[in-house]
């Protein structure tokens, strides 16, 4: 399979794009020193203070052992969310996973243990070319599916560190006056005792707040561990923010606890600065008041008292490489358990990097075989059969790396098919149930446990200037359903990536009969299904986002995931609301209904994309992808700045090969194969037990019967779908008349020239006439065309867009 090179061309973001749900994007554009780590830190501060003001958390030191649901919206699973901290959410997923890391599904895999061939201070497997081969690893029944690699980086036995004590003189509250920590070689430690409050800006001084900075001089590849803790009897909660020499935030460790720790592998030669703050001081800061070059630039004191510092310098580290065979479609996972976060990378057979991270990327999804035992983890779906390699680096000492190879969930569970129900009729809703939050997490949280109701899709039609009647509800929900089916069925089938592809997408079309019958029919037969609720608002759900899924499940092992597509922001009538469909420019003659169907359909596909295993792709390049993160609604429409939806430049947005989001945990060098992930998520292998296939046929028949009844309740008048359509696909034009008589349909281009007569015949009273349009038959190119429809009842025009 060809892996495309991703062009890193910065896309212009329209000035009107709403940043109300992605404030960090706007901050980074206004402030060139605003790194993604800085954005993440300020998201943490913002949501921590919001929660504290609501009295849902205490600003005092954390003493309870109860796990707390993170603050802000889960940024990994949401679209255009009021995102919380990526780091806080990642830590939550790691802690959640540790409770189930030895789950039964992993014990079913064939496992073995191997040891790295390299000894202390040797360089045997330090490159891709010299990678240690792992035999008989793979997804087959005769393979070892799960291998635990025991190895060491530089040395498996870390020597005792040689320790020296340094003194800390005030003022050291900024980069220019930082206390220098000097190391005369590797495996050296420097310790010190210092105080918050003894400097010129403590409570006895200016009152702007006492901070302490520590300077280290590092070479690229140097590893250092920095720790600080409250002294015995001290009430302070030290937190660490790491800066480079330009004052940019590189990483941080922030929580209201008496201990803070940062492990750092220098990316380049230079000076780096560990800034120590008391937690209660740091949470008063904003992007404008973080001043690493001015020790008096704080906004108020925090808690004051003594703390102890320890900086351990290990020097240069090495990389270990391993090679193994994977088959196309294999679900590969790795988790590395070491003294601290390690960097893991996977490489394609051609040697290019597929993915890399030093974060926790796997999730504890029910039924998933992905390994969880380690602070560093990732997964990947193999796009081709061949020899892959992994590297492990960025740490020192012994590590245990668990690797797993498995087939996708629906390939293992033969006879099962993914069924996805699009729910337009409104729904009861509780956050704890939706997110599968254990009862032991955030016990008694009123937001998680509140009983809610999400309003139906039809309630939002009038915000788009569309009358809320049965005709419009049915036709627009049918068009949305068709957009979802195009993205998740037709396009993935056409890709040819997975020849065992099959997925069933059912819709209630906003009809209460279907909304009641479909879930009952599935649940009565015990058939698992996923769902997307399309409706509701931020206020109703209590979640500040446009869309969100409840999981990310590479390989699609859980068939009962859920997602929300909220409609208040998308239907906002405020002319300054940049994320509203109402404010997206449209080409002349393109109706709002077409845009509503496309945007809502693409957001729905985006959220389904999460729960079948896709992470976000970046919105900052010229690749349009269904999985693009929020920040520019135009990316899901397929237009750039200055363009209009429906004009010749409009791009069909699909599941694409793209770069991982630059804001999440993955390295920019990787390739996010959302098309491969999605295609193998919907594998289907029939079994002898045919009841489930019969059931999906029953659901299809139920849909058809209800829609037929709806057609009799009101005349179809005129509709077409898909609209817009591709040149390579066929669309349907449906029209009717309340009078019997001759009928004729002529197609015109936008210049008024006749393209051809599409229909010339008789139409009965109340009959819904369906005509197929094949663009290739009439040599139609991209653009807008007009149907002129003449019946005994009169004449009407209808537009169709070819993309």
What local confidence, expressed as pLDDT, does residue 699 receive? 66
String of DSSP letters for 562-585:
EEEE--TTTT---TT-TTSGGGS-
Structure tokens, 368? 């998933």
Provide the sign of the torsion angle of the four alpha carbons 132, 137, 142, 145, taken in this order: positive
Assess whether pLDDT exceeds 80 at residue 102.
no
pTM assigned to the model: 0.83
pLDDT value at residue 342: 92
CA 676/CA 254 separation, integer angstroms: 37
Average pLDDT over residues 199-216: 93
Reported as a pLDDT band with limits 50, 70 and 90, residue 693 is: low
pLDDT of 183 reads 95
pLDDT of residue 15: 33
pLDDT of 56 above 90: no
The arithmetic mean of pLDDT across residues 227-240, rounded, is 96
State pLDDT tens for residues 106-136: 556 777 889 887 666 667 889 999 999 999 9
Q: Is 452 exposed, middle or buried (0-12, 13-18, 19+ CB in 10 A)?
A: middle
Q: What is the pLDDT of residue 540?
A: 98
d(CA 607, CA 626): 9
Higher pLDDT, 736 or 214: 214
For residue 20, how far is the Cα from the chain centroid? 18
What is the predicted pLDDT for the residue at 3?
Answer: 58
Listed range (176-185, 304-313, 683-692) with the worst mean pLDDT: 683-692
Task: Give me the phi and psi of 307, to 5 degrees please.
Answer: -150, 165
Count, residues in the chain: 803
The confidence score (pLDDT) of residue 704 equals 66
pLDDT (tens digit per residue) in 786-801:
899 988 878 888 888 8
pLDDT, tens only, 436-461: 998 888 877 888 999 999 999 999 99
- Report whether pLDDT(14) > 50: no
In this prediction, residues 292-317 reach a mean pLDDT of: 92
pLDDT in tens, 726-762: 888 888 898 888 788 899 999 998 777 899 999 999 9
Q: Residue 666: what pLDDT?
A: 93
Position 253 scores a pLDDT of 95
Q: Binning pLDDT at 50, 70 and 90, where does residue 25 land?
A: very low
Lowest mean pLDDT among 384-388, 633-637, 780-784: 780-784
For residue 46, is pLDDT > 50?
yes
Tell me the pLDDT tens digit for each residue of 367-403: 999 999 999 999 999 999 999 999 999 888 899 999 9
Q: Domains in the chain and their CATH numbers?
A: 1-99+409-714 (no CATH), 100-154+318-406 (2.60.120.380), 715-802 (2.60.40.3080)
Query: What does pLDDT average to over the chain?
Result: 88
Q: Decide: 244 and 270 in contact? Cβ < 8 Å.
A: yes
Residue 67 has pLDDT above 90, yes or no: no
The answer to which of 7-11, 192-196, 412-416, 501-505 has the lowest mean pLDDT is 7-11
Band of residue 66 on the pLDDT scale cut at 50, 70, 90: low
- Which residues have C-beta within 8 Å of that of residue 189, sequence separation ≥ 6? 161, 162, 163, 164, 310, 311, 312, 313
Dump pLDDT digits (tens) for 660-681.
998 888 998 999 999 999 999 9
Of all residues in the chain, the percent with pLDDT exceeding 70 is: 89
- Give the CA distances from residue 261 to residues 91, 240, 264, 377, 493, in Å, rounded to whole numbers and listed in that order: 14, 7, 10, 20, 48
Query: Residue-wise over 778-798: b if at least 16 C-beta within 10 A, else e?
Result: eebebbbbbbbbbbebeeeeb
The helix/strand count (H/E) of the chain reads as 16, 37
Among 744, 773, 776, 741, CA closest to 759? 744
| Two structure tokens written together for 227 | 């720790």
DSSP letter at 92? H
Is-contact 361 388, C-beta < 8 A?
A: no
Assess whether pLDDT exceeds 50 at residue 32: no
Least confident of 163-167, 338-342, 446-450, 494-498: 338-342
The b-or-e profile of 256-291 (16+ CB within 10 A means b, else e) is bbbebebbbbbeeeeebbbbbbbbbbbbbbebeebb
Three-state secondary-structure class, residue 148:
strand
Q: Report whether pLDDT(691) > 60.
A: no
pLDDT at 726: 85
CA angle 566, 453, 468 (to 5 degrees): 60
Which residue pairs, CB below 8 angstroms and at least 24 apart, start in 21-28?
Answer: 21/80, 21/81, 21/82, 21/83, 21/544, 21/545, 21/546, 21/569, 21/579, 21/630, 22/80, 22/81, 22/83, 22/630, 22/631, 24/83, 24/663, 25/631, 27/287
Q: How many CA atoms lie within 13 A of 642 on its CB side?
A: 2
Q: Are 399 and 152 in contact (CB under 8 A)?
A: yes
Token pair listed for 90 = 């990642």
CA distance 76 to 73: 9
Residue 622 clears pLDDT 80, i.e. is over it: yes
Which tokens go with 31?
């402030």
189 phi/psi in degrees, rounded to 5: -130, 140
């Amino acid at each position: 399979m060809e892996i495309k090179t991703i062009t890193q061309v910065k896309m212009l973001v329209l000035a009107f794009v709403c940043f109300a749900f992605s404030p960090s994007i706007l901050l980074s554009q206004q402030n060139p020193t605003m790194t993604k780590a800085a954005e993440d830190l300020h998201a943490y501060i913002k949501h921590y203070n919001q929660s504290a003001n609501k009295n849902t958390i205490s600003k005092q030191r954390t003493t309870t052992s109860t796990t707390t649901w993170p603050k802000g919206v889960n940024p990994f699973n949401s679209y255009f969310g009021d995102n919380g901290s990526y780091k806080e959410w990642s830590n939550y997923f790691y802690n959640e996973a540790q409770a189930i890391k030895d789950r039964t599904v992993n014990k079913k895999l064939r496992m073995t243990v191997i040891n790295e061939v390299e000894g202390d201070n040797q360089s045997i497997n330090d490159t891709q070319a010299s990678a240690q081969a792992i035999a008989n690893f793979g997804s087959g029944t005769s393979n070892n599916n799960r291998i635990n690699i025991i190895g060491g980086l530089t040395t498996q036995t870390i020597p005792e560190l040689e320790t020296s004590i340094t003194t800390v003189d005030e003022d050291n509250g900024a980069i220019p006056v930082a206390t220098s920590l000097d190391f005369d070689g590797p495996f050296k430690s420097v310790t010190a005792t210092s105080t918050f409050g003894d400097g010129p800006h403590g409570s006895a001084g200016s009152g702007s707040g006492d901070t302490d900075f520590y300077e280290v001089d590092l070479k690229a590849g140097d590893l250092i561990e920095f720790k600080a803790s409250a002294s015995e009897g001290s009430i302070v909660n030290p937190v660490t923010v790491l800066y480079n020499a330009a004052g940019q935030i590189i990483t941080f460790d922030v929580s209201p606890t008496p201990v803070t720790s940062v492990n750092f592998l220098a990316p380049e030669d230079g000076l780096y600065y560990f800034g120590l703050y008391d937690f209660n001081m740091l949470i008063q800061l904003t992007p404008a008041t973080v001043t690493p070059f001015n020790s008096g630039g704080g906004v108020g004191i925090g808690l004051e008292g003594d703390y102890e510092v320890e900086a351990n310098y290990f020097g240069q580290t090495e990389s270990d490489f391993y090679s193994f065979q994977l088959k196309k479609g294999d679900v590969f996972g790795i988790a590395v358990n070491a003294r601290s976060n390690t960097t893991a990378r996977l490489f394609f057979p051609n040697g290019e990097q597929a993915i890399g991270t030093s974060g926790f990327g796997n999730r504890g999804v029910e039924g998933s075989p992905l390994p969880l035992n380690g602070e560093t983890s990732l997964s990947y779906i193999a796009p081709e059969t061949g020899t892959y390699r992994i590297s492990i680096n960025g740490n020192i000492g012994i590590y245990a790396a668990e690797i797993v190879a498995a087939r996708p969930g629906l390939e293992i569970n033969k006879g099962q098919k993914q069924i996805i129900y699009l729910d337009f009729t409104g729904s009861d809703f509780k956050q704890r149930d939706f997110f599968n939050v254990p009862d032991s997490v955030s016990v008694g949280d009123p937001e998680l446990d509140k009983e809610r109701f999400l309003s139906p899709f039809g309630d939002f039609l009038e915000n788009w200037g569309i009358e809320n009647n049965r005709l419009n509800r049915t036709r627009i929900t049918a068009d949305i359903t068709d957009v979802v089916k195009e993205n998740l069925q037709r396009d993935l089938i056409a890709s040819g990536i997975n020849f065992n592809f099959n997925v069933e997408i059912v819709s209630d079309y906003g009809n209460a009969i279907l909304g009641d019958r479909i879930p009952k029919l599935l649940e009565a037969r015990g058939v698992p299904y996923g769902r997307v609720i399309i409706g509701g608002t931020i206020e109703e759900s209590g979640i500040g986002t446009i869309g969100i899924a409840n999981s990310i499940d590479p390989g699609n092992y859980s068939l009962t995931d859920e997602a929300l597509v909220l409609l208040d922001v998308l239907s906002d009538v405020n002319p300054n609301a940049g994320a509203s469909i109402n404010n997206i420019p449209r080409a002349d003659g393109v109706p709002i209904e077409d845009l509503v169907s496309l945007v809502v359909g693409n957001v729905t596909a985006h959220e389904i994309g999460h729960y079948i295993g896709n992470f976000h792709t970046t919105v900052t390049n010229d690749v349009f992808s269904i999985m693009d993160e929020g920040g520019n609604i135009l990316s899901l429409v397929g237009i750039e700045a200055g363009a209009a939806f429906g004009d010749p430049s409009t791009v069909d947005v699909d599941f694409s090969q793209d770069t991982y989001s630059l804001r999440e945990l993955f390295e920019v060098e990787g390739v996010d194969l959302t098309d491969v992930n999605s295609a193998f998520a919907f594998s289907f292998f029939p079994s002898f037990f045919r009841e489930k296939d019969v059931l999906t046929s029953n659901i299809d028949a139920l849909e058809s019967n209800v829609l037929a009844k709806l057609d009799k309740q009101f005349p179809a008048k005129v509709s077409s779908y898909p609209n817009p359509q591709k040149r390579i696909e066929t669309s349907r034009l449906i029209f009717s008349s309340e009078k019997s008589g001759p009928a004729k349909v002529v197609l015109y281009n936008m210049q008024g020239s006749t393209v051809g007569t599409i229909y010339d015949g008789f139409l009965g009273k109340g009959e819904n006439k369906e005509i197929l349009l094949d663009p290739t038959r009439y040599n139609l190119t991209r653009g807008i065309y007009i149907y002129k429809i003449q019946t005994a009842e009169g004449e009407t025009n209808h537009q169709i867009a070819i993309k």
